[in-house]
A and B are shown apart, each in its own frame.
Chain A
Amino acid sequence: MSIQVQNIRKQFGNFVALDDVSLDFPTGELVALLGPSGCGKTTLLRIIAGLEHADQGNVILEGQDASGTHVRDRQVGFVFQHYALFRHMSVFDNIAFGLRVKPRSKRPSEEIIRKKVTDLLKLVQLDWLADRFPAQLSGGQRQRIALARALAVEPRVLLLDEPFGALDAKVRKELRRWLRKLHDELHITSIFVTHDQEEALEVSDRVVLMNHGSVEQIGTPEEVWNAPKTPFVYSFLGSVNLFHGRAGQGELEVGEQRVNNPDDAIRPGAEVIAFARPHELDIDTNIQASHGILATISRIQAFGITAKVELEREDAQQIHHHEVEIPLDRLIALQLKGGQAVRLVPSRLKVFEQTKPVAADHYIAAGI
């Protein structure tokens, strides 16, 4: 089933949680809603499910306006951020609940229910836990039971709110692969919320990036990674180095220094923010060179395939931190050491014209 949300707006008191959000979720896709904590992901998901009422805008399920449809008739499967398993019911009864509360005419017989629950337990690979209570399960197990419970009623869409939020890194990784596999088997239109960019990029067909209640970018994982549309997206997806400066002719002025700027779409004289990923920066030991940004090495981590060099730079009485990744042999060739002054030379730079002043911390927090 396809889901469309049109011009959704939601306010809590004076706080705007969602500001004119319009999205299209095509049938059968697994879409990730990605954004920092508090950006409105849960709120959007709850509005789609009908648990929350939007102040403005429509939710359209399979081409039909769902505003007048009660939650229980929307046929959505919802996996809550904190599972919300029925604590006094066994795992079996939890999964069977959705089937047992159906109106008598549509309710399957107890025998069919038993078979279905057993199948679902096998699907989530926990058939040996049927008699346990939620309190006796691990976080990852609860997560999967919550998913099985949602699937039992054969929902037309599956909404998952940070399904792996409370789990450790290893279990997270396992479960996200498992979710992808499950989705490939069942093909239910699914939206899953996360604030982990790696998770979103790895699992989903499409990624929706949200910030402060509005959508920043929508695209396949490759698209959003390779061509971030906004500074926020750039900094949210992975580590970045950030430079404030002014555009010149084919150049960028960062403080007193200059770097080449291949992006000619920016009008000269504009205030800009420029981003470079750690591997897109090179180090020049010749501080007399005409181009490159002066910085001082603070720490070198030479393990793994690439070496990580951390640097500091003072600009406008503020200390900026940078991170550069260079191949290990290059590090050895350059003979870098802590405290050394060098120039940073970007091989690739993503430049955004700065429309409104943005606190640098905002990006740093999301990035490095």
Chain B
Amino acid sequence: MSGATSLNAAQVASLSPARHYEDNPATRDRPWVKWSILGISLAFFAGFLLLPLATVFVEAFKKGWDVYLAAITEDDALASIKLTLIAAVIAVPLNLVFGVAAAWAIAKFEFRAKQFLITLIDLPFSVSPVVAGLVYVLLFGAQGLLGPWLDAHDLKIVFAVPGIVLATVFVTFPFVARELIPLMQAQGKEEEEAAIVLGANGWQTFWHVTLPNIKWGLIYGVVLCNARAMGEFGAVSVVSGHIRGITNTMPLQIEILYNEYQFAAAFAVASLLALLALVTLVLKTLIEWRAALNARDHQQESAS
């Protein structure tokens, strides 16, 4: 469930030690060991990852380009795409601001409930999304705690767009914060202090000193957060109510189409999500590459 992979130095630096290990005859393994390990992992990769991904696209285009195009431009499909985008557009910036604020608080201030806050941030990772969805239903649903009050004011949250947005915010809440906390903690607050002594105000310090230092971690967190926001199924499924054209996000739409045996259409919409995954991966790799360059510069700095 924990989708937070971290952009840490060990991961970034892991390439060169491997090469070192390989080049050194004293530590080099026998060829058959190397090739069988490589073979196993590649076969696994092909069988469990590449094959399904390819299947999505093959199935999507099975009945031709026209059917594909018709499937993704059909009203309900378009509505689901729109809703998914809305949820992401609200959830991602919200969690961006929250994540930066939480990471800032944890890394740069001393307070008592710090450890508790760190634990709390992980809550969405540790609890099942279905439970998260249920909590919202229990809170805002017709029989829920706030249900009567909402009803009286003619506000609808569960089985409506606000509920979907709330559930999405909840499940994607840790991505940015999780990414930034170790990064900001490692960087300490000396540069910020230097900026303040030089006369910078809080905003200038954040904008000119802190932000550039956490830039790559932040983008990385946002990319992962976005991928999850668009792909979330469990929590959204509980609060959605599956009203066609209104409360169906792309993952929900796919499920419905599939259950109605409209395989081509289901796979067509699925292919869009798969495409998103691929774009995310490319972005992620690019960011890691950039961050690795940065990390190397900083290693030089601390080494000399």
A interface residues (Cβ-Cβ under 8 A, vs B): 49, 51, 71-73, 76-78, 80, 82, 84-89, 97-98, 101-102, 133-136, 138-139, 149-150, 152-153
Let me know if A72 and B200 touch, CB within 8 A: yes
Let me know if A87 and B200 touch, CB within 8 A: no
- Give the chain B neighbours of A139 by CB distance below 8 A: 304
Residue of A nearest to B297 (CB): A135
Let me know if A101 and B201 touch, CB within 8 A: yes
CA distance A87 to B295 in the complex (A): 11
Q: How many B residues have CB within 8 A of the partner chain?
A: 21
CA distance A101 to B201 in the complex (A): 8
Instruction: List 13 A-B pairs, Cβ < 8 Å.
Output: A72-B196, A84-B193, A85-B191, A86-B191, A86-B208, A89-B212, A98-B198, A98-B199, A101-B199, A101-B208, A134-B301, A135-B298, A136-B300
Let me know if B198 and A51 touch, CB within 8 A: no
Inter-chain residue pair count (beta carbon < 8 A): 72
Within 8 A of A (CB), among B178-197: 190-191, 193-197
Let me know if B201 and A135 touch, CB within 8 A: no
- Give the chain B neighbours of A153 by CB distance below 8 A: 198-199
- Give the chain A neighbours of B197 by CB distance below 8 A: 49, 51, 71-72, 76-78, 150
CA distance A98 to B200 in the complex (A): 7
CA distance A138 to B196 in the complex (A): 25
Q: Give a binary string over B33-66; 1 marks a CB under 8 Å from any A CB, 0 the rest.
A: 0000000000000000000000000000000000
B256 in the interface (beta carbon within 8 A): no
Q: A78-B193, A84-B190, A135-B297 are in contact. List 6 more A-B contacts (CB 8 A).
A: A77-B197, A86-B191, A135-B298, A135-B301, A136-B300, A149-B198
CB distance from B246 to the nearest CB of A (A): 46
- Given A72-B200, A135-B300, also A97-B213 (CB < 8 A): no
- Give the chain B neighbours of A78 by CB distance below 8 A: 193-194, 197
CB distance from A321 to the nearest CB of B (A): 37
- Give the chain A neighbours of B194 by CB distance below 8 A: 78, 80, 84-86, 149
- Given A72-B201, A82-B190, also A97-B301 (CB < 8 A): no
Residue of B nearest to A133 (CB): B297
B interface residues (Cβ-Cβ under 8 A, vs A): 190-191, 193-201, 204, 208-209, 212-213, 297-298, 300-301, 304
- Give the chain A neighbours of B208 by CB distance below 8 A: 86, 97, 101
CB distance from B153 to the nearest CB of A (A): 45
CB distance from A97 to the nearest CB of B (A): 6
CB distance from A132 to the nearest CB of B (A): 12
Q: Is the interface of B mostly helix, strand, loop or mixed?
A: helix
Let me know if A102 and B199 touch, CB within 8 A: yes
Let me know if B212 and A88 touch, CB within 8 A: yes
Among all A-B residue pairs, the 5 with the closest Cβ atoms: A98-B198, A84-B190, A135-B301, A101-B200, A84-B194
- Given A80-B190, A101-B204, also A87-B301 (CB < 8 A): yes
- Give the chain B neighbours of A101 by CB distance below 8 A: 195, 198-201, 204, 208
Which of A134, A135, A139, A153 is the most central at the interface, judged by chain B CB atoms within 10 Å of its CB? A135
- Give the chain B neighbours of A133 by CB distance below 8 A: 297
CA distance A71 to B198 in the complex (A): 9
- Give the chain B neighbours of A88 by CB distance below 8 A: 212-213
Which of B194, B198, B209 is the most central at the interface, judged by chain A CB atoms within 10 Å of its CB? B198
CB distance from B97 to the nearest CB of A (A): 22
CA distance A87 to B210 in the complex (A): 11
- Give the chain A neighbours of B196 by CB distance below 8 A: 51, 71-72
Residue of A nearest to B192 (CB): A84
- Give the chain A neighbours of B191 by CB distance below 8 A: 84-87
CA distance A134 to B191 in the complex (A): 12
CB distance from B250 to the nearest CB of A (A): 38
